[in-house]
Structure 1
């Protein structure tokens, strides 16, 4: 539900957090910092949903307690990153202090890096001689060790998104020094696979933001060389004329062009006319917007006989798939036969979103906190990512040659063996309405097939509809990965459902 990093880095980091209310920080007294930290601690406890149940709540309090006990001996920079580390304990990218707001005047190397399959490479740099070089060490330390040092300061839901953040924060000398990576002030020595060691000065964010940070087909469709720069959504047909490629970067109306509603209507027209046989949804870049706008689209794809078939609906994900686009991915995974191709997502199915901004009273530092729980699974589902059905490897060679392995995998995808049909006795015996974990769930027949369905509640995106297939005696598999229906056969021959297996957890089924 919140804006987040786009492409190799966040476009939003530059526009949303490069502001400040007044001058830069200048030697704030320990007493003033103490008031700021205590204000933050109260605000987080009051704002974050069900805060004390967060696995990182205890660590958050502990980090702030340590910070408060040593305020008198710490620099402003150490205090600021100490706050960032405490917020990092919550495991939520929406709870953070961004080092690039005007009040902080944080410098960053004018170098754009990305973690490819082979390692970290320089994609663009102010010093053009560095482009294409592989980065192996930072200030003499192996890059994976630097990542481990910085991880507590990287506010992300999982390891995959933190890797994306490292591509930014690993280039900030001030943070490296606070995290224990020794080196000179204001610069970083980057060690290259070619054997060269180059000292690079950190500069203003404006220099860094000039660099190319694009990934494959990000706002551009390579198959027909069409530019869609700065569009929240766009669509193009593949050369076969039957496959529709749709990219979503934000689920909100674009400033120019058709509204989101009109885009959904265009997709509807394509399906209704029979022109669209297959849809590839690209949700790799972006994430903000309004999740309640999604339902007409997800219902359309769920109810389409043509599109909602194995191999006819494909979703492309990356480490940066988060927010509303993660919600879209989750809803489609639970309600259609969509195949997920790409990388593990930047968030899990149950996220906290909708950002509230606050300003610390003395330092005037701006902090974001998330405030609303948006589930797309059961409350107990603690997964912090969603893994793809078909993993994709992105190499530096792909990047250099303009290749898009996600799109190639989608175009090459072959449908697996069709599932066998259920027998008539199971169809008749299981069809009914049940209660699962306090929710009404229906098992029903539709044209000789058996489906399990649960509708969403108000202010929730969690709903599912899945086809059931025979797996082995007493268990039916479903069109949702790792979701199964257990049933039992009684002595009198009656058959009744016993448990819903949801990602390895058994939930009792009641009449």
Structure 2
């Protein structure tokens, strides 16, 4: 909680510097939204005060209401993100991007604890590969310490990094915290091959930012993918069909898996595949019951090496249902896990109840279930074989995780 109050102090100190304050009408609208928000958190979350004390929650909201005449809209939203983040579970979130917003035209990814630019608009292509050092004089590690407790979709240190990579581009968030100025370029500091670069950068519309490639780079794009009628899951047959590789990028519906199961089984029987890879990297979740239906479709096939031939890939993006299915597949498919730890916590509040604030129309979610998937103290599903992707691997489009499993199968 000390960090939460520190954040509020930082934001409050910038109220009269960077943005216009709310009108009387806007203040009333936000007051109604905040009251609605409070009632939803209290009544819809399965256990809203598992980490944040109820008295602190009430205090933070009271102070926010009192401060409304001093605040701009981005500052109100930043405060709500702070309060929601303090509840401390990855399915209880304030989605600032549900309203108008802009992004700085860069995409980032951590490699060996260095935050590198992995894509940029045409004007800033020369920055690709550079390490971001600071924004308006604030070092990256300071920004991470401040932002990570308030970001949506954070269960642990691993998902905190992935969310930070993305939300550091969100201009409205940095504006709401007083770190950047409205209608003014922002000073970025980079290090590129030992040289310090300074750039004055202005934000762009979401439509332009969306053209940039994701920080998650799926190396399976090089593979010959087969459509199996389950949107979000593709099949590649590797090593003369010996290996069935499923890129489980997103969740289809339960009904789609059931409807296409027989056709998939026939396809795998014809291919005579013996080894099974299910790749959950980059998968932010869905319904783990769909994942269980998928596994039940594969289990009847005796052709697979169910003793040592099943592999699941994970990374820090593996969250929610994808994290749950990882644990379940280790249990029911006897799978070994390769890659990096999941962004999801196995023993965490889950299953989102989503709602919309009546006036601002901002979207939020709260957790409505609790699942203890591992009966031990842990913050992630840790792989059996830890394999990280280096910056050089990323640049060259190499997939060390897939390469390691292919090599093991060849042995």
Q: Tell me if both proteins adopt one fold, taking TM over 0.5 as the criterion.
A: yes
Distance 2:107 2:397 in 1: 17
Give 1 or 2 for the bigger CA radius of gyration: 1
Question: Residue 463 of structure 1 aligns with which residue?
Answer: none
Query: Relative to 1, partners in 2 of residues 1:304 and 1:175: Cα closer, same or farther, differing over 3 Å?
Result: same
Q: CA deviation at 1:392?
A: 1.9
Which stretch shifts more, 289-298 or 300-309? Answer: 300-309
Is the aligned partner of 1:105 residue 2:91? no
Which of the residues 318, 322, 325 maps onto 1:325? 322
Distance 2:151 2:234 in 1: 32
Task: Determine helix, strand or coil for the equivalent of 1:289.
Answer: coil
Question: Residue 366 of structure 1 aligns with which residue?
Answer: 362
Which of the residues 291, 294, 300 maps onto 2:291? 294
- Please, which runs of 5 or more residues in structure 1 have no aligned partner? 1-24, 417-511
Is the aligned partner of 1:235 residue 2:235? yes
Question: Residue 114 of structure 1 aligns with which residue?
Answer: 109
Distance 1:224 1:29 in 2: 53
Task: Determine helix, strand or coil for the equivalent of 2:383.
Answer: coil
Greater share of strand: 1
Aligned residues of 1:355 and 1:368 also touching (Cα < 8 A): no
Query: Relative to 1, partners in 2 of residues 1:318 and 1:305: Cα closer, same or farther, differing over 3 Å?
Result: same
Summarize deviations over 1:385-413 as a string: whole Å, max 9, x none.
21111112122211111111221222234
Between 1 and 2, higher relative CO (CA 8 Å, sep ≥ 6) is seen in 2
Q: CA deviation at 1:172?
A: 2.6
Q: CA deviation at 1:184?
A: 6.7
Is the aligned partner of 1:405 residue 2:400? yes
Question: Residue 207 of structure 1 aligns with which residue?
Answer: 208
Distance 1:117 1:408 in 2: 20
Aligned residues of 2:234 and 2:247 also touching (Cα < 8 A): yes
Q: CA deviation at 1:64?
A: 2.2
Structural RMSD (CA)? 3.2
Aligned residues of 2:341 and 2:382 also touching (Cα < 8 A): yes
Aligned residues of 1:114 and 1:122 also touching (Cα < 8 A): yes
Aligned residues of 1:139 and 1:182 also touching (Cα < 8 A): yes
TM-score normalised according to structure 2 size = 0.81
Which of the residues 39, 53, 56 maps onto 2:52? 56
Aligned residues of 2:94 and 2:365 also touching (Cα < 8 A): no
Aligned residues of 2:353 and 2:368 also touching (Cα < 8 A): no
Distance 1:408 1:340 in 2: 14
Distance 2:354 2:291 in 1: 25
- Please, which runs of 5 or more residues in structure 2 have no aligned partner? 1-20
Aligned residues of 1:279 and 1:314 also touching (Cα < 8 A): yes
Distance 1:195 1:26 in 2: 40
Greater share of helix: 2
Which of the residues 132, 135, 138 maps onto 1:135? 132
